[in-house]
Chain A
Amino acid sequence: MVTLKQLLNEDRRKDAWLRHCGFIDLSLSEFQQVQERLLLEQLELLAKSYLGKKLLHGTLPQNGEEFRQTVPLTTYQDYHPYFKDKQEDVLPLKPSYWVCTSGAIDAYEYKWAPFPPGLAQTHIKNFLAAVIFAVCTKKGEFSLNEYDKFLYAMAPPPYLTGMVPYGVEKEFPFTYLPSLATAEKMSFEERNEVGFRLGLTYGIDLFFGVSSILVRMGEKFAQTKEKFSRREKMNLRAWLRLAKGLMRSRLQSRELLPRDLWSLKGIICAGTDTHFYKERIEYYWGKKPLEIYGGTEIGIAATQTWDYEGMTLFPDANYWEFIPEDEYFRSKADKNYQPATVLLPELEAGKRYEIVITSLKGGAFVRYRVGDMIRVLSRKNTNLGIDLPQIVYEDRIDDVIDLAAFTRIYERTIWEALKEAGITHSNWVAVKAFAGGHPLVKLYLQLPAGCTQEVMEDRIHQVLCTINDDYADLTQMMAYRPLQLVPVTAAAFARLKAKQRQATDPALWRKFNPPEDLIKEILTTT
């Protein structure tokens, strides 16, 4: 198949756009046609594999409707026995590579996911679609050149984001800052630092990373007075860039910002909190970040377009199903309940859904509950003429608190932290909140007698840093404490429990991550 490099070299920009970004012009029915057809191919592949047969329960559905009716939903538990040892003989197709989640997820140390060649190529194609959207000014018009400088601030292989640039290399050559081979040997922090330093010399055209990193870099620029005085080995090009940047900032009578040094063509960000950082990134870097949605099991799943609003799902890597929120809650309350799913055309604006995917093109996941919640912004994007539902990634399902895409906190993480901090029996409720411009865990805790809030917060924070490396990295790199302890009286918890007993909304029953506005009043009123 043709590559993006070939298309651009042959001056087929329109074709390049069509190949990567043309999916936004599909109608809902055309989108579903692509989905249904690829599902049939996938079912055929599944039916020939051990794992597929097991997951399909010996059936071979003839269409999507039959598939949804006869095949039960799955969780990672269904795959773990085979994936933990990377058993390839049970899979529909031999994978090109395996990717894994960064750090412990749920009950698993790592979650592995196989990517067969066709699926991997599709995800690469879709990632490049996001790159094109990030550098486009209007439909079909984009500026992308070979060897554009790409500051790629994401995790290395075997994480999904680490595999992407290797796949992209075959499609389109970028100059990575630092080079991929060098970056692999560095820590995350080092890589970012070296990347930005190289950027001073060579410039930066594109950035892909965690949005919080960009904000942190921007803040560093704005806060530090003598940014480069101690950098002795800056070459002439770097000095020239710096001089140009300084001139720009002086002309506008403000501090030096990254946007004075670099004119980024595109910024791509992943993670739950990108929308939260969006405006600050634009302020510091002069360009809005384009948010993409993806994950280990689902690959590159959806992307924003050039209005930086809702995201559009890609049609060719996963077969999409959605569990409506009420069905989700019902299944939470009754573990044996099989929640009903809806398809893309049935999504309703303003509603929340849990994502269910079936990997296409020989992937392994079948009706798999990813654990992500999305919200439908609108059924179409009228301004841009996109006739497909526009979604936003809300968060992980309520069992998880995702912090700036650095780490995920589970209920058992809190239990463990409290235990290590010496609190064995106490009332608590944890929610995700934003404070000081950053996401954090807000822990409502009934303090043990004789403990102050400050001491206890310190203690729990230290324990979290010890038991969760990513939490520690977040603290260190972003220079803030992602924990806020709110002391709560026993009476307040008694009120909460009483309220919970009366509540019809199952969301209120949860200890971990219940809707904050529902509990805040009860817990903070003393």
Chain B
Amino acid sequence: MEFEHTVSLVVPLFAFFLYTGLMILSIKCSQSKITKLFQYYLLLMMDWSFGSFMMRTGFAPGPVFWNRMMIVGMAGVPFIFYRFSEALLCRAQSLTARLGYFFYVLLIFANFKGLIVQDVILTAEGFDYTLGPLAVTFALTAGGYVLLSTILLVGEAFKNPDSFWTNRLFYPSVGAVLMFIGCTLNLFPAIGKYPLDILTNTINAFLLTYAIYRYQLLNVTISIRKGLVYSVLTAMLTGSYLLLVYLLETVIRNNLGYTAFIVAVMMGAVIALIFEPVKNWLRVRIDKVMFGDIYDYRETLKQFSYLKASILDLEELTYSTLDLLTKALQVNSLALLVLDKESNYFVYASVNIDETVAKTMRLDKTSPIVRRLAQHSPILTWQEIETAPEFQGLWQREKDFLTAMKISLFVGIKLGGELIGILVLPDKASRDPYSDDDRAMLLMLANEAAVAIQNAQIYSEVKRQAVHDELTKLFNYRFFQEFLDKEIARCQRTNQIFSVIYLDLDFFKAYNDIFGHLAGDEALVYVGQAISQSIRPSDIATRLGGDEFGIILPGAGEKSALAVAKSIKNAVQTFFPGTSSDSVLTISQGIATFPVHGQSKQQLLSCADAALYEAKSMGRNRICVYNLQLVKGKTSTDNLHAEFERDFLRQQVEDAYLSVIYTLAAAINAKDNYTYQHSEAVTYYSVAIAEALGFSEEQKKMLRYSAMLHDIGKIGIPEYILNKPAALTKEEREIIESHVLVAEAIVSHTPYLREVAPIILHHHEFYDGSGYPDGLKAEEIPLEARILAIADAYHAMTSDRPYRKGMPPEAALQEMERLAGKQFDPQLLPVFVSIIREQLTKKAAGGTHA
């Protein structure tokens, strides 16, 4: 009995502390309608529990008074709880709620008139009470309102399919049911003398506390909510402590006789041995129940640290991390946006997001979301986006995407102040909001991820560089070889075919010499781009080294490979425009197909190489498919390759000489742009005459070199003489005329160009013998020199010079015709004149230039 009495004292006192704690915390919350109603509810509960405690103690003015005070609280709770339920459901105050206040006033009046409880007497076991005539009315009214609250909350919870609302309403609903039971029990004095009503209400308070924490029942900040839970714990412990002290004191007094010393010692032992461990144990249990997530977070972070240390592949790391997060945060989907080269954030990886949707999600650098994450807080909620004015600049398509995805949270991943990625999280599956702990964990993870992502990016870059050519961004030689091995193995296994194209730039050395290495590198990049544009994603384009490229075309036969090669040729011509004969840069390509031309890697590459050589030897700027008949009489592949190698060496030597020519031409260009342009034009006219005369390719080649270099000797002539506007003095004229000698001297020292030296030396001889340097006449002058003389004179006459204006073409031709047999070969001149006149006619008709 003693124990029951003690319990019946401690429970209301405990409840009072609990409600007081809740009240203090609720005062710190923002004072909204719901908060205020909750406070009224707490106030009434405080009154109820305090009245109940005082009534049981028997303190003055007596149990009847305290009973009346207790009923003031007890009577109000059902009505205010009903209104609280309404407010929770965002409903306006109903007539039922207003009627509730009216009933409350009536019940208070009845209470003080003794119509609810007539009398209360303290007994040894506790207390007895006599119900008044309106006790049943009171119980029915109060119970009815609790029942209405329950129906309201449960009904809404069932009606609303939204899990967030269901969860939010579940705990208040259960609390309401318990309250209803507790109130109903008061109708039976035998049970009602025990504070079961307060007990059920206390449980209700716990449930509300839990709902406040988990489902943001009130607008309480997280720290306050945590504080609230720990306050409840402290209140609980204080109650338990009081109960324990009381029990101990009773046991000691009854069994050992009362001594203050013994009590003090026992209390010390209790506190030392039981209270602290119990407190800690309880705290841990509560942590697990209420803040169980924190444990999960620690686990998540631990796992992420492991991932970070063990995975270097960026893609793998990203997907593993996202997977980890979806589990830890219980989200159905999420995405990681990373920065691209255009400073846009695109979806790099996503979980459970439709690919087409993911592709549409792009945040550019001007997006207010990016700006906020980069410059301010690394965490951004959807609520802020909906409300903060800076987000008024958000585009509709961004809003549509974010709304469709139900994005709830953005977490910026920053490294060294730069926003390198954005983690995008939708609502949780449970619709619970992201707690402070969630955010703290995400922030920690974002910080860690920034370093990990950077490491992985570096690794990925190194990995990419290992198989890529840095200049052209194509694959490199190593990758070509590896892939070829694999492709041969695959095709042998599956009986499939593939082709290889070898591609080489024509006269690339000369191109480099003339235009410089920077331009040469640019040319390689262009060619790389041309190749990339022309192939399928499954094809492998590589730069094998220098100006050589290799392309592997899985599944492609000769025809398909030829089509690709043509496409590349066209693309290169687009980059380097010009006709096939005078294009700035051309390419030659050789094609071999597996297994038709070779069944081993060695054989296949030799065949592709041979085809390339054939293309080169046929005049370059063309494509050859490997064909054994290419090499007359040679059937042995080895012999064939020996032959090719020799020819190739010869070709290399010739290329080297040619590069000398281009270098010399570039030297002229650097000194005097007119001379360079003049040389190009003279080359064009000379070759035109040669073609009309049916010169062989070799003759044309020599003539082309001569024309290109005929004024090379002007390198040694001062510019003031070259560009002098006035007539030249005798000495100056001599200097000018010396340029043929200087040119001859230069080209004579170059073995391959020796053949062109006489042509250059005599291109200023006149047909009648009045020219220089040797005064040769008629047939004594080499044919090529006579051609050169015509081309040279025509271009010089038609060009503007500092000292005179260029003649119109027709006038120049007439003047030249006048000098036929004197200055120019009378046989050759008509050939030239007819060529030019034909071109002029075409030009007049809208054709090409003369």
Contacts and interface: CB of A to CB of B under 8 A. Distances in A.
Interface of A: 1-2, 7, 9-13, 15-16, 18-19, 22-23, 25-26, 30, 33-38, 40-41, 118, 146-147, 315-316, 361-362
Contacts of A9: 90
Interface string B694-708: 000000000000000
B815 interface: no
B366 A19 contact: no
Contacts of B386: 1-2, 15, 19
A16 B403 CA distance: 19
A26 B92 CA distance: 35
B219 A23 contact: no
B387 A15 contact: yes
A34 B388 contact: no
Nearest to B29: A11
Given A11-B33, A11-B34, A22 B396 contact: no
Contacts of A18: 387-389
B368 interface: yes
Contact of A15 (B32, B92, B383, B399): B383
B355 interface: no
Contacts of A362: 396
- Most A CB within 10 A of own CB, among B92, B366, B393, B403: B393
Interface in B380-404: 383, 386-390, 392-393, 395-396, 399, 403
A25 B390 CA distance: 9
A37 B366 CA distance: 7
B389 A146 contact: no
A30 B391 CA distance: 10
B814 interface: no
15 contacts: A9-B90, A11-B30, A11-B33, A12-B219, A15-B383, A30-B389, A33-B366, A33-B371, A34-B389, A34-B393, A37-B393, A37-B395, A41-B396, A146-B92, A316-B392
A1 B392 contact: no
A19 B389 CA distance: 6
Contact of B390 (A26, A35, A361): A26
A463 B219 CA distance: 64
Contacts of A22: 387-389
Given A11-B30, A19-B387, 11 more contacts: A2-B383, A13-B32, A22-B389, A25-B389, A30-B390, A34-B368, A34-B390, A36-B366, A37-B366, A38-B392, A41-B395
B160 to A, nearest CB: 14
Nearest to A19: B387
Interface of B: 30, 32-35, 90, 92, 219, 366-368, 371, 383, 386-390, 392-393, 395-396, 399, 403
A342 to B, nearest CB: 21
A361 B399 contact: no
Nearest to A30: B390
A389 B577 CA distance: 57
A19 B390 CA distance: 10
Contacts of B90: 9-10
A145 to B, nearest CB: 9
Contacts of A10: 90
A11 B219 contact: yes
**Which of A11, A22, A23 has the most C-beta atoms of chain B within 10 angstroms of its own C-beta?**
A11
Contacts of A19: 386-387
B29 to A, nearest CB: 10
A11 B32 CA distance: 6
Given A1-B403, A11-B34, A11-B219, A361 B387 contact: no
Can you list the 8 inter-chain pairs with the closest CB atoms, starting with the nearest?
A: A11-B32, A22-B389, A37-B393, A9-B90, A34-B393, A19-B387, A316-B392, A18-B387
A22 B383 CA distance: 14
Nearest to A118: B396
Contacts of B393: 33-38, 316
A309 to B, nearest CB: 21
A315 B392 CA distance: 8
A405 to B, nearest CB: 28
A526 B539 CA distance: 97
A365 to B, nearest CB: 18
Contacts of A34: 368, 389-390, 392-393
Contacts of B219: 11-12
A2 B387 CA distance: 9
Contacts of B387: 2, 7, 12, 15-16, 18-19, 22
Contacts of A146: 92
Contacts of B399: 1
A16 B386 CA distance: 10
Contact of A23 (B366, B383, B389): B389
A9 B219 CA distance: 12
A11 B33 CA distance: 8
Contacts of A26: 389-390
A1 B30 CA distance: 24
A37 B368 contact: yes
Contacts of B92: 146-147
Contacts of B388: 18, 22
A41 B393 CA distance: 9
A478 B498 CA distance: 91
**Max count, chain A CB within 10 A of own CB: residue among B30, B92, B395, B403:** B395
Contacts of B30: 11
A143 B388 CA distance: 21
Nearest to A314: B392
Contacts of B403: 1
A163 B219 CA distance: 35
A316 B368 CA distance: 13
Contacts of A118: 396
Contacts of B33: 11
B400 to A, nearest CB: 10
B367 to A, nearest CB: 8
A10 to B, nearest CB: 7
A25 B396 CA distance: 23
A18 B33 CA distance: 20
Contacts of B389: 18, 22-23, 25-26, 30, 34, 315
A512 B30 CA distance: 59
A34 B391 CA distance: 8
A162 B366 CA distance: 36
A361 B393 CA distance: 10
A314 B192 CA distance: 64
A13 B368 CA distance: 23
A7 B387 CA distance: 10
Nearest to A42: B395
A205 B40 CA distance: 29
A316 to B, nearest CB: 4
Nearest to B398: A41
A396 B621 CA distance: 72
A87 to B, nearest CB: 22
A452 to B, nearest CB: 60
A19 B388 CA distance: 6
A10 B215 CA distance: 13
A16 B389 CA distance: 11
Nearest to B399: A1
Chain A CB within 10 A, most for which of B32, B367, B390, B403: B390
A475 to B, nearest CB: 43
B94 to A, nearest CB: 14
Contacts of B35: 11
A403 B690 CA distance: 91
A64 B393 CA distance: 14
